[in-house]
C-alpha cells in the first residue's frame, strides 16, 4: 500500500514536471512585439526601428526579377505590400533557379536590427558563436538575417535552404545543401 502511494506520487510529480517544461520553440527571440507583414509565402517580422523603405532599397528586386519569376508588373499601394511582393518574387526566383517548385510554402523571415542581435539569437538557440551573415532554422522554418545583410543574395541563399529542407523527404547532406544554396546566391549576384 505504501509503495503504491509513493509510485503514484512519483508519476504525478513527473507528469507535472514535464508539463512545466518549455519546448524549444518557446525560446524568446525578441520578435514578440515586432512589426509583422504577411505575404503569400512568408510572415516577415521586423525589429524595432527598422524602416520598411530601407528594406525595399536593400533587397533591390526589380522588374527583370519579376519577369523571370513570372509575376505581373503591378504597382503596390503601400511599402509593406511592396516588401511582401518582393520577397514572394525572390522566393519564386529561387524556386526556379533550383527547379524545385513549392506552391504552398509558408515560412518566417525575422529581420534583426544589427549583427549583434542576430548573434545573440544564434547563441541562445544553439549555444555557439555565429560565423555567418544570416541563418535558417529548420525546426522553426525561420530565416534570421540582420538589417545590414538584408540583400537579395543573402536572403535568397537562406530561402534556398528553406526550399531544400521542405522539398526533399530525406534531407541531403549539409555540404550538398550549401552547394545548392551557394549556386542560388551566385545566380542572384549575376
pLDDT in tens, 26-80: 566 778 878 899 999 999 999 988 999 999 999 988 888 887 777 777 776 789 9
What is the C-alpha separation between 167 and 100, in angstroms, rounded? 7
Of 47, 35, 119, 17, whose CA–CA distance to 80 is shortest?
35
Q: Could you read off the pLDDT of 140-167 as tens digits, one per residue?
A: 999 999 999 999 999 999 999 999 999 9
Q: Does domain 23-189 have CATH number 3.40.30?
A: yes
Looking up cell 522566393, which residue turns up?
Answer: 91
**Contact 95/41 with Cβ under 8 angstroms?**
no
What is the C-alpha separation between 180 and 26, in angstroms, rounded? 31
Amino acid at each position: 500500500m505504501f509503495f503504491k502511494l509513493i509510485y503514484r506520487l512519483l508519476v504525478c510529480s513527473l507528469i507535472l514536471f514535464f508539463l512545466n517544461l518549455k519546448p524549444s520553440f518557446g525560446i524568446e527571440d525578441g520578435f514578440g512585439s515586432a512589426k509583422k507583414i504577411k505575404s503569400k509565402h512568408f510572415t516577415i517580422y521586423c525589429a524595432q526601428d527598422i524602416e520598411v523603405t530601407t528594406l525595399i532599397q536593400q533587397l533591390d528586386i526589380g522588374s527583370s526579377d519579376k519577369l523571370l519569376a513570372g509575376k505581373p508588373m503591378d504597382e503596390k499601394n503601400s511599402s509593406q505590400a511592396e516588401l511582401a511582393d518582393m520577397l514572394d518574387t525572390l522566393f519564386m526566383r529561387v524556386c526556379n533557379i533550383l527547379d524545385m517548385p513549392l506552391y504552398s510554402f509558408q515560412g518566417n523571415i525575422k529581420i534583426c536590427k544589427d549583427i549583434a542581435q542576430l548573434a545573440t539569437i544564434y547563441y541562445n538557440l544553439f549555444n555557439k558563436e555565429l560565423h555567418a551573415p544570416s541563418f535558417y532554422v529548420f525546426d522553426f522554418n525561420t530565416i534570421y538575417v540582420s538589417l545590414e545583410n538584408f540583400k537579395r543574395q543573402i536572403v535568397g541563399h537562406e530561402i534556398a535552404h528553406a526550399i531544400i529542407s521542405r522539398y526533399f523527404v530525406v534531407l541531403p547532406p549539409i555540404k550538398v545543401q550549401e552547394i545548392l544554396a551557394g549556386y542560388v546566391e551566385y545566380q542572384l549576384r549575376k
